[in-house]
Chains A and B, each alone.
Chain A
Amino acid sequence: MTDKVLIADDEPNIVVSLSFMLKREGYEVLVAPDGLQALDMIRSDPPRLVLLDAAMPGMNGFDVCEAVRADPGLSGVRILMLTAKGRETDIARGMGAGADAYVTKPFSTRELIVRIRELLA
């Protein structure tokens, strides 16, 4: 069975590329344009992995991450923060909120795929 991956990002320009790539890699791709919808989708149908942007309208990525980690039923969901917030403090906050990996934009798609495979292995 194929692994489900949720892309939570409000920028369509990245969503297009990421979902194209993940589909080609054989994953089932879901998309959420903001934090609240992302959380709803994670709760109703937990994916294996979430690619989570930090700066989103409604609810930001850090808060979504914390909310997911606060729910024991969602402990199987891996979270990869994929964000333009690149300061030390941002990375610390992301990891503190319970992200499994933190990738700063811009990034190489090839390396990203490697990280995703590792997380889902």
Chain B
Amino acid sequence: MRSATRLLLPVVLPGLAVALWVLGGVALFYAALSPERREGVSAGLAPALAEGGALIFGWWLAGAVLAGWLAARLYARHVAAPARLADAARLLAGNADAPRAQAAGPEALSGLAEALNRLADERRTLQTDMARLVAEAQHKVAQERDQLGALMAELRQSVIVCNLDGRILLYNDHARSMFRRVSGGGDVIGLGRSIHTVIERALIDHARDTVDRHIARGEAPVSAQFVTTTPAGSLLHVVLAPVRPQAGESDQISGYVLLVDDITGDYAAQSRRDRRLIELTEASRASLANMQAALDMLDYPDLQPAERDGFHAIVRDEVTAMGQRLKAMTADASQEILTRWPLQEMLGDDLLAAASRHVQAQTGAEVAVGNADDGLWLRVDSFSLIQALGALAVQVAGAQSSLTLRLAPAATPGWAHLDLVWPLEVGTGPGTAGAVAGQAEVDRARDIAERHGGELWLEQDRPAGQSFFRFLLPTALSGPEIAWPESRPEFYDFDLFAASDSSRSLDDQPLDQLTYTVFDTETTGLNPAEGDEIIQIGAVRILNGKLLLGERFDQIVDPGREIPEASIPYHGIHPEMVRGQPRIAEVLPVFHAYTADTVLVGHNVAFDMRFLQMKEEVTGLRFDQPVLDTLLLASIAQPHEPSHSLEAIAERLGIEVANRHNAAGDALVTAQVFLRLWPLLQARGIATLGQARAAAENSYYARLRY
């Protein structure tokens, strides 16, 4: 409509203008006449007008229409077309994918439109390229991170990377299980957690000072190291290396890497060795002194027979004592060798398979494999052992092309035989090992056997027509503990590099930048004041908007009272399940450490908090973190929904509920609900923790209950 009125104006205006101009001229002419002439003109013109007025009007109208048409053409060409082009250009400036500008109107204008379209095309190509480059870069970074994660997971050493605030942004599985061991079972390290809960801040600060000093002086090894004890009495050796920006950027470090070794065992072994050495030296000195003195006395010429016998007895006595001491010492020492050399636990079948491949490759001979016990685990340095087998095989293979590798438990418990078997040539006598396989090879292989605390020898089984080298190797009870949880855990979050504790108070922090412990408890009943107790605590953590499935907390608790039959359908925990489980006084300190520096989240969390608060006096632990309730938050986000039970909310938000009425399962669902509520809350202007808490306090449900 508006464009029609805009077009009407130029069409009508010329005709009107001509009419006004002519009328104006006539009026001027008329006004200039004397009154008599006016009379004459009016009298003469009036009948002429009455006669030919229509013709004049027609003439004018034709002129007006012609002028209007011309004006419309000009308008379309010089006003409307540029305006359209301007619109198209504006559109293209905002979005390179917008429809191309139409080249209409004068030549110059279509040239402009063409140029515009070319620019838009170039811009679009540029954008596509950029998007591709960004995607490639992101993919590469993601790949590198995954590789790093995989590498970390495989490392035998504990690695933890922290930002300057001491927040953990990467750790490996080894670090996790080590700290779990030294802290008495709880998970004390996790993404976003503070390293200071396990290693004193002063120690790390001191090490960082040392590193800064090294950097300032331009020294090559910039790392620092220290030894610390844990509350549980373990001894940790820590190397701290800085994470530094690329050369030339700045000297400021952005975080640090901790390499941690649990040296409790090593240190104890070393102390034991030292002590044993001193004991042995001193005991030998004393024995030698006793013997020497007794022998010196025997030199007196006038000894009574009884005295002589006495001194003889002393010497004999001391010789026996020294022999026994040495025997005990040797037994201990072979154990020590076992613990000192890094042996790995390996399934016998795996060792045989790897060894046969290597021997086959070395000799070209057929290698058969035999294992008397499929479940046999060995403690071996597999690489050296396989190399030794290969070297021996090359020596003995010669003309025979049939070798066998054979594994069997030895008669002595704790040991196994690994045999390299080849056919015994008819008529050959018993040779020495060195003669059969070369002294150098045998010596090397024997060294390796001794590294295992074991032995190596050559044996001939004439009835079976076999010769074999036999390694005596230590067995292991079972494989190494594999502590992988079902889901691949999140071991790193480099976004934390930028995070800083001191920047803002918690209440001002956006919801998606906080760390949460989402938890749930199962209890024997509803009234903690009347003796109801917690029987299960389950929790998961949320960090930077990600659910950390690998850092779960799931603990059944012995309530120290009977579990009412009626309550079992609600939590599924039967009395026999709590037997042997820790009491709440042991669990709460671990859970307290788990929740350190996080915001607590639960569904109808006031109920769970009451149970925790009841125990404050006994344990001395206060759960005084900020608390959020998904029940209240849901009632704010979806005020018109009738039900805010966990199931109802989960269903509305499209979350699958798998393990309801199990603390760990409920905690997981609650965490998912919590995450999905964020955008809904955001839409209602609730973005920070402070806003969420204020809104929750004022919500309908909160007012209803408090």
Whole-angstrom CA separation of A17 from B307 in the bound complex: 10
Q: A14-B293, A18-B293 are in contact. Are A106 and B281 (CB under 8 A)?
A: no
B285, B300, B310: the one within 8 Å of A104 (CB): B285
Q: A42-50, A61-69, A107-115: which lies at the B interface? A: A107-115
Q: B216-224, B311-319, B549-557: which lies at the A interface? A: B311-319
Scoring A residues 1 to 45 as 1 if CB is less than 8 Å from chain B, else 0, what string do you get?
000000000010110111011001000000000000000000000
Scoring A residues 75 to 113 as 1 if CB is less than 8 Å from chain B, else 0, what string do you get?
000000000111100000000000000001111111000
Q: A16-B310, A16-B314, A106-B288 are in contact. Are A84 and B296 (CB under 8 A)?
A: no
Q: A20-B307, A84-B283, A105-B285 are in contact. Are A14 and B290 (CB under 8 A)?
A: yes
Question: Is B318 a contact of A13 with CB atoms below 8 Å?
Answer: yes
Q: A16-B310, A109-B292 are in contact. Are A21 and B286 (CB under 8 A)?
A: no
Q: Which residues of A contact B286 (CB under 8 A)?
A: 11, 14, 84, 105
User: Does B499 count as interface, using CB distance less than 8 angstroms?
Assistant: no
Q: Which residues of B contact A84 (CB under 8 A)?
A: 281-286, 289
Whole-angstrom CA separation of A7 from B412 in the bound complex: 49
Q: Which residues of B contact A85 (CB under 8 A)?
A: 282
Number of contacts between A and B (CB, 8 Å)? Answer: 61
User: Does A55 count as interface, using CB distance less than 8 angstroms?
Assistant: yes
Whole-angstrom CA separation of A87 from B278 in the bound complex: 9
Q: Which residues of B contact A20 (CB under 8 A)?
A: 297, 307
Whole-angstrom CA separation of A85 from B294 in the bound complex: 20
Question: Is B290 a contact of A17 with CB atoms below 8 Å?
Answer: yes
Q: Which residues of A contact B318 (CB under 8 A)?
A: 13
The number of chain B residues touching the other chain, given as a range, is: 20 to 34
Which residue in chain B gives the minimum CB-CB distance to A87? B278
Whole-angstrom CA separation of A54 from B284 in the bound complex: 15
Question: Is A55 a contact of B282 with CB atoms below 8 Å?
Answer: yes
Q: Which residues of A contact B297 (CB under 8 A)?
A: 17, 20-21, 109
Scoring B residues 422 to 449 as 1 if CB is less than 8 Å from chain A, else 0, what string do you get?
0000000000000000000000000000
Question: Is B282 a contact of A107 with CB atoms below 8 Å?
Answer: no
Whole-angstrom CA separation of A113 from B700 in the bound complex: 101
Scoring B residues 199 to 222 as 1 if CB is less than 8 Å from chain A, else 0, what string do you get?
000000000000000000000000
> Chain A residues in contact with chain B, CB under 8 A?
11, 13-14, 16-18, 20-21, 24, 55, 84-87, 104-110
Task: Offer 9 A-B interface pairs, CB within 8 angstroms, sorted by A.
Answer: A13-B294, A14-B289, A18-B293, A20-B297, A86-B282, A105-B288, A105-B289, A106-B291, A109-B296
In the complex, given contacts A11-B290, A13-B290, A105-B286, what are 4 additional A-B residue pairs having Cβ atoms less than 8 angstroms apart? A16-B311, A21-B293, A84-B281, A105-B288
